[in-house]
Amino acid sequence: MNFMNRHIADDGSALTVVDSPSPIADEGKWPVRYDSVEFVVICADIATILFAGFLSALLSPGGPPQAGLIQTFGYAAAAAVCLVYILKGRGLYRPTELLVLRSQVRGICLTWILLHVLAATVEMLDDNPSFFRGAGLLFAVLGLASLIVQRCVARELLIKCFSGRRFARTSLVLITDQPPSSHAGLSEALAVLGYCVKGRFDLPAMGSDPGSRKQLSSRVIEHIRNSEVDKIVLEANPARWADLRAFISDLRVLPFPIMFVPVGAASELLRHPARSLGSAACLEIQPGPLTAIERASKRTIDIIGAGLALTVLAPFLAIAAVAIRLDSPGPILFKQRRCGFNGRVFSIRKFRTMHVLEDGSVIAQATPLDQRVTRVGKWLRRTSFDELPQLLNVLEGSMSLVGPRPHALAHDGQFDKLVRKYAFRRRVRPGLTGWAQIHGCRGPTPTATMVERRVEYDLWYIDNWSLRLDLAILLRTPLEVLRGRNAY
């Protein structure tokens, strides 16, 4: 049990000294501090990748010749450095991020696959490519599997550390301008991470005379030099930074790191990640819905998927074109202006299913017994086959295979007034199919409630995007087409 003694200084500021915990309190602690979790996981990643490279060289056909072993080990070392650099840049080594297994697996898979695709492309330019025919392919599989297993283990160990408070003890001194009632909550939060508060000092009020600051800094220095301390934590409102900067300057004689914890309104702002804009420092208030790697991965799948679909479905598309031509006069393809990514207007392609070609300020939505629909168009609309020419939009980049469905410009203006967050759908490319469509949101939207329901599904998709989710939507779309809900 810890015993705290509270002393009142001459200037009225309070100091709370926390005695060192007994040896019993340190029983069950693991030899890992919270601050070193990132470094430990980085080392584990490097060791895992190198071991996977060594193992793949041993198991590859033809045995482990020295040249092949050296080549595999060198490739593994390069892959480890690149993987760690990319994952660290994305913040995936932070302890809180390591607890989110889904984002960890997604980040590792995307990065690992991208690295090996680039490496395989470079090797194909070689006169005698051989690495990916042997140990390289085995290394790619073993390395990815090992990293995923390691992340599962790391997550379970972290959960035990947090729940059992098993992080190695890190002693600190807390200097704060917050009321004593808030100390207990902060101490409890720090204790979970293995931090032990060895002393608390109250900052003088804002605008106090410099003498009070000097007295406080002298007491802090004297206290720290007589105790075992690992770091100093300064908790205060950034609005008084002028006073804090002078106080921190007095503490520079101490050979310990000083951490600043902002409180007040500015603390919310400083939670955003820091970025650089030339020589200026800035904060990223709103990140993009997808990172550069995620956008590249999604675009690659769009190109490959749309190209394969057009190749396989070419005979059926030709039959549909002939049927449309023979059924009624007019063009085979119908183009209509739609609102896409970031509000950019593009022309969407569809098989013509009506006798009219509406693309003005007023467009009547289709009804179950709409007389404008042609005989062939009725079947095309029921099976959603009329949407397949949009694969050309996917190839040109104005659409994606999966995303919020775009609406005509005339309807877009109406929906924007009905639903407050409707414009948020434009943060990603519109899709040929989407999360809303596989949940039955197809066909016209005559009521505000139906529009709001679609927007809710679309915004959920944007906030929870993953390649796995895109694949699930693509696989479920044919089943939804067969059900034929709201398709007319």
Q: What is the pTM of this model?
A: 0.57
Q: What is the pLDDT along the chain (488 residues), one digit of tens a residue?
A: 333 344 334 444 444 444 444 444 555 567 777 778 899 999 999 999 999 888 887 877 655 555 557 777 788 888 899 999 999 888 899 888 888 888 899 889 989 988 888 877 766 655 445 555 566 778 888 999 999 999 999 999 888 887 777 777 778 888 888 776 666 666 667 776 777 777 788 887 776 677 787 888 888 888 888 777 888 888 888 878 878 888 888 888 888 888 888 887 777 777 777 877 777 878 887 777 888 888 888 999 999 999 999 999 999 999 999 999 999 898 999 898 888 888 899 999 999 989 888 776 667 777 777 788 899 988 888 888 999 999 999 999 999 999 999 988 877 877 887 888 888 888 899 999 999 999 888 777 767 788 888 999 999 999 888 888 999 999 999 988 887 666 65
| Residues in CB range of 117: below 8 A, 6 or more apart | none
Q: How many CB atoms lie within 10 A of CB 368?
A: 9
8 Å CB contact between 236 and 210: no
Per CATH, which fold does 4-19+169-264 belong to?
A: Rossmann fold (3.40.50)
At residue 259, the 3 state secondary structure works out as: strand
Q: Side chain identity at 110, as an amino acid letter?
A: L
Q: Is 262 helix (H, G, I), strand (E, B) or coil?
A: strand
Q: How far apart are CA 259 and CA 190, in angstroms?
A: 13
Residue 384 region by backbone torsions, left for phi larger than 0, else alpha for psi between -120 and 50, else beta: left
Strand 333-339 with 345-351, pairing: antiparallel
Helices 448-463 and 409-418: angle between axes, nearest 10 degrees: 90
CB atoms within 10 A of CB 294: 17
Residues in the chain: 488
Measure CA 264 to chain center.
Answer: 27
The full DSSP string for 71-120 is: HHHHHHHHHHHHHHHHHHHTTTTSHHHHT-HHHHHHHHHHHHHHHHHHHH
User: What are 302's two structure tokens?
Assistant: 């769009």
Structure tokens at 40: 């430990």
The count of other CB atoms within 10 Å of the CB of residue 415 is 19
Scored b (16 or more CB within 10 A) or e, 141-152 reads ebbbebbbebbe
How far apart CA 465 and CA 284 sit, in angstroms, is 20
Stretch(es) of the chain classified as CATH 3.40.50.1110: 4-19+169-264
**Burial state string for 55-71 with b = 16 or more CB within 10 A and e = fewer than 16:** bbbeebeeeeeeebbeb
Residue 7: its pLDDT value, please?
Answer: 39
Residues with Cβ < 8 Å from 419, sequence gap 6 or more? Answer: 448, 451, 452, 455
**What pLDDT sits at residue 158?**
86
The SS3 assignment for 275 reads strand
CA distances from 277 to 271, 280, 281 (A): 18, 5, 6
Q: How far apart are CA 385 and CA 353, in angstroms?
A: 10
Whole-number Å distance between alpha carbons of 270 and 283: 8
Q: What is the pLDDT of residue 19?
A: 42
DSSP secondary structure letters along 9-72: -TTS-EEEEEPPPPGGGGTT--S--GGGHHHHHHHHHHHHHHHHHHHHHHHSTT---HHHHHHH
User: Three-state DSSP class for 6?
Assistant: strand
d(CA 70, CA 438): 50
